[in-house]
Amino acid sequence: MRIVINPAAAKFEKGEILVTSMTRPDFVPLMKKALAVITDEGGITSHAAVICREFKLPCIVGTKIATKMLKDGMMVEVNGNHGVVRILEK
């Protein structure tokens, strides 16, 4: 799991969970590598939701606090069907 603010400067690995305040078109290359996406902002028509639907990625948008509560490297489980992020270990 990795928190990304600036996608151009991010060291993002394939298979990581992308956590950010919100996505924009410049996040798409990272989203292609992501296992799932979690955002602080957004709704069902947000950029993150639309792109994740197209890529068939689990996505939870509008958490308001993901970038504050989660830390890089944490093990988390993302259940996009129920909108739940579960911390597996700290």
Domain residue spans of the chain: 2-89
CA dihedral sign, ordered 12, 6, 68, 56? negative
Q: Answer yes or no: 47 catalytic.
A: yes
pLDDT above 70 (res 90): no
CATH superfamily of 2-89: Phosphohistidine domain (3.50.30.10)
Catalytic residue, chosen from 23, 47, 63, 67, is 47
Q: What is the Cα–Cα distance from 76 to 28, expressed in whole angstroms?
A: 22
User: Do the beta carbons of residue 67 and residue 40 sit within 8 Å?
Assistant: yes
Which residue, among 70, 62, 86, has the nearest Cα to 4 in the 3D structure?
70
Characterize the bridge pairing of strands 59-60 and 75-79: unpaired
pTM for the model: 0.95
39-82 tens-digit pLDDT: 999 999 999 999 999 999 999 999 999 999 999 999 999 999 99
Q: What is the Cα–Cα distance from 73 to 52, expressed in whole angstroms?
A: 22
